[in-house]
Amino acid sequence: MQLDCVSDFFSVPATKLFCRQLKDCRNSRSTDFSRGENQCERWIVPLRSFITGREINYCVHTVWLQGNILHVINDSHVILKDVSGGIVKISLVSFPVTDWIQQGVYCSVIGTVVSSSQTPLIQAIKMTKLDNSLNLQILWEWEVKDLADQLCNDA
């Protein structure tokens, strides 16, 4: 598989993914001395085109997920489940907890990957409550698949 990385954290938007795609990602650190940084945190996510089946490894800094809050663990962590059936643990440590964060709420999460495992850990940067509409969930699934197709077939 081909490796496609982005060197600048803010040069691209967050990558739209399914929760299940994060359990197979792996950490990749790089050194960028020209910018005065010791380590640049990157995560390599295997992507597969839903149309052609072509696979690539794609490097991400931030991820964009959407799903239902399956469980509120405590004030600083929730479990999110999306249409893929995958789940991730969301850390709210640097995110102000609001009263809408409760079980069953459909939301959007932009964050950084902290760890990858059966239940990946994402540090929330932004979390937004969305309408609990089935149409939004179906549209999100199409958006994620469309992005994977575009990234895999343009690589």
User: 120 and 102, same structural domain?
Assistant: yes
Note whether 121 and 114 are within 8 A (CB).
yes
User: At a CB cut-off of 8 Å and minimum separation 6, what does 53 contact?
Assistant: none
Structure tokens at 85: 């059936």
Number of domains in the chain: 2
Q: Distance (Å, rounded) from C-alpha 54 to C-alpha 101? A: 37
Q: What is the pLDDT of residue 10?
A: 61
- Residue 147 within any structural domain of the chain: no
User: 106 and 53, same structural domain?
Assistant: no
Per DSSP, the three-state class of 139 is: helix
Q: What is the pLDDT of residue 138?
A: 92
User: 75 and 120, same structural domain?
Assistant: yes
Per-residue pLDDT band for 119 (boundaries 50, 70, 90) equals very high
User: Which residues span the domain enclosing 7?
Assistant: 2-61
User: 74 and 57, same structural domain?
Assistant: no
Tens digits of residue pLDDT in 55-71: 999 999 899 999 999 99
- Residue 140 within any structural domain of the chain: no
